[in-house]
Each structure stands twice: as C-alpha cells, then as structure tokens.
Amino acid sequence: MPIECQFDQEHGELNLLMDERFEFENCREFRVAYESAKDHDLHNITLNFAHTRYVDSSALGMMINMKRYYADQAVDIKLTNCSEQIKKILIVAHFDKQFEIL
C-alpha cells in the first residue's frame, strides 16, 4: 500500500496516511508527498499511522527531515493513530518533544 496523500487547500492541511511499514524503502515517496505542499499556504501536516505496524530508524530520520524542511513556516505536525508499540518507539526517541502525538 503506498502512502496516501490528501491536501486540503481551503484549510491548508496535508494528510498522509502511512503505509503498513514505514521504512527506508518509503523515503522517496514520503519526501515527494510532503514536499508537494511546499508552495501552498500550509498550516498543518498530519501523519496518520492507522495502518502502520513497523517503523525503522530511517523513518524517524525522514520525519525529522520533514520537520526541518518546514522549519521556516509555521506548520504544525501531528502524528495520529499510532499503535502502542509505535508510540513507545516515538517516546523513547523523544519524538514527543518534536511532534504532537495523538
């Protein structure tokens, strides 16, 4: 399943429904998805992990790169619908200090 990308231009929201596995193989696809909204009036990015069962260290790096990419804009980034296992990984990596985890 590829990463599903939906952009709501009216509200300036980019929603990414993540794949079952978020890993190095998703790097290009993930970057293209979040960079696609750069030229729009973007306020919020939501990474929806409802289908995700596995996250590797390169995926954590990709999320940090996305945060850096939008550092010059006031973009809120939220990580939603994380399984307990993925939430533990994010907290151990101190991602709760970098992103809002819902």
Q: Which of 95, 31, 24 is nearest to 16 (CA)?
A: 31
Tell me, what's the pLDDT at 40? 85
What pLDDT digit, counting tens, does each position of 32-90 carry?
Answer: 999 988 888 899 999 999 999 999 999 999 999 999 999 998 899 999 999 999 999 99
Q: Which amino acid type is present at position 92?
A: V
Tell me, what's the pLDDT at 48? 98
- The pLDDT of residue 1 is above 80: no
Segments making up each domain of the chain, as ranges? 4-101
Helix (H, G, I), strand (E, B) or coil at 43: coil
As a residue count, the chain comes to 102
CATH of region 4-101, choose from 3.30.750.24, 3.40.50.1000, 3.40.50.300, 3.40.1390.10: 3.30.750.24
What pLDDT digit, counting tens, does each position of 6-37 carry?
Answer: 999 999 999 999 999 999 999 999 999 999 88
